[in-house]
Amino acid sequence: MYPQIRIHLSLLSLGIFGIAILALFLGVYQFNESILSIINKAFTNRTAINDSDYYVLFDLRLPRIIMSILVGSGLAVAGTCLQGIFKNPLASPDLIGITSGSILFAAITIVLGGYIKDFVPEIIHYSLLSLMAFVGAICSTVFVYRISSHHQKTNITILLLAGVAISALCGSATGLLTYLSTEEELRNLTFWTLGSIASANWNKILILVTVISISFFFLIGKGKTLNAMMLGEKDAEHLGINVEKTKRQIIVFSALLVGTIVSFTGTIGFVGLIVPYILRLIFKSNYVIILPLSAFLGAILVIVADTISRTLVAPSEIPIGILTSLMGAPVFISILMNYKKSL
């Protein structure tokens, strides 16, 4: 690892820790004693803590902060990897239909869930929405990948076009379900598609930690491979890189990351677009540097957005997807303007 990467990772780690501590103190609920005292008693004398204080701190705020870190890291790394294999700064998980597949299956569950629950075990009724959203992400990814693959080779251009097609198809089906939904279903569907981390809990965190650990094991070390692929797939193959294997791994694990995250939080857009763009401005297109840094910067972005979402209009909450879109739209316009100048 380059010395400069260690320095930047250390600084970003301190940033995450500082923002997380600040987020822990921010909120509508007023504790009966200091947060530091509650944390100290949690290790020494649990029974001395007020039940409400314990619940808000350890079952609401802390899981939400940790989940924000995981969600931001996963989305940012997935976006960075996809931009690397597509060689396109506008590439994101939305582009290949991952998000739209999740939204469609979530909409099916919200609108037609009463019928679906009759055919599934009662034990998974509580988590049916998350499971269906995850299945939707995987199904759309497999469909797009199969269309773009021929003789065990993946055509990136066809994959992008297939992603656009499946996104349009899923979008129209979601629109139909939205039209057919009742007022309560419409509220649930709208809030879910705008994204929220309010449902964070320790079980979801455990699942996310497992998925992210496995995915990062295969993705974080792809920096040199992506740098080589920027030269062209033929040149990368001459350097001894298995290009097809790399593309499969990135697409599969990016879909796994995004599908799992979206199934728990709904749609949180633009994170995978903003983070690599900011890092690319500083470090150019050196994926050896920007890939690990994207995990940390993505975490910071989502923690900040989530803290603002739950405190700006407290006690109400702004869906986090609205805030990330507000952050991402100017960046997206900036990318387009820079691309226009290069023509």
Residues 140-198 have pLDDT tens digits of 888 887 887 776 676 767 877 888 888 889 889 988 988 888 888 888 888 778 888 98
Mean pLDDT of all residues in 21-36: 83
Residue 232 scores a pLDDT above 70: yes
Residue-level pLDDT at 25: 87
Residue-level pLDDT at 152: 65
Residue type, 54: Y
With beta carbons less than 8 A apart as the criterion, state whether 113 and 128 touch: yes
Stronger pLDDT, 282 or 150, i.e. the higher one: 282
Mean pLDDT of all residues in 61-74: 94
Stronger pLDDT, 125 or 283, i.e. the higher one: 283
Selection from 45-59, 179-193, 291-305 with the highest mean pLDDT: 291-305
Which of 30-39, 198-207, 211-220 shows the lowest mean pLDDT across its residues? 30-39
With beta carbons less than 8 A apart as the criterion, state whether 55 and 44 touch: no
% the chain with pLDDT above 90: 20
Mean pLDDT of all residues in 270-286: 86
The rounded distance, in Å, linking the Cα atoms of 296 and 25 is: 21
The rounded distance, in Å, linking the Cα atoms of 68 and 330 is: 22
With beta carbons less than 8 A apart as the criterion, state whether 298 and 72 touch: yes
Residue-level pLDDT at 255: 84
Residue-level pLDDT at 125: 67
Mean pLDDT of all residues in 294-317: 90
To the nearest whole number, what is the mean pLDDT of the chain?
84
Which of 134-138, 151-155, 302-306 shows the lowest mean pLDDT across its residues? 151-155
Residue-level pLDDT at 333: 78
Mean pLDDT of all residues in 293-301: 94
Number of Cβ atoms within 10 Å of the Cβ of 74: 29
Residue-level pLDDT at 302: 94
Mean pLDDT of all residues in 218-241: 85
Stronger pLDDT, 338 or 197, i.e. the higher one: 197
pLDDT band of 64, cuts 50, 70, 90: very high
In DSSP terms, which residues pair with 153 in a beta bridge?
150
Q: How far is CA 196 from CA 200, 329, 341, in A?
A: 9, 19, 37
pLDDT band of 115, cuts 50, 70, 90: confident
pLDDT band of 209, cuts 50, 70, 90: very high
Residue 127 scores a pLDDT above 80: no
Residue-level pLDDT at 49: 79
Q: How far is CA 81 from CA 98, 242, 254, 338, in A?
A: 14, 16, 8, 21
Stronger pLDDT, 55 or 90, i.e. the higher one: 55
Residue the block writes with tokens 């728990």: 264
Residue 268 scores a pLDDT above 60: yes
The rounded distance, in Å, linking the Cα atoms of 17 and 11 is: 10
Residue 119 scores a pLDDT above 80: no
Residue-level pLDDT at 65: 94
Residue 318 scores a pLDDT above 90: no
Residue 41 scores a pLDDT above 70: yes
Domain architecture of the chain: domains with CATH: 3-338 (1.10.3470.10)
pLDDT band of 342, cuts 50, 70, 90: low
Tell me if residue 200 falls in helix, strand or coil.
coil
Distance of CA 249 to the CA centre of its chain: 17
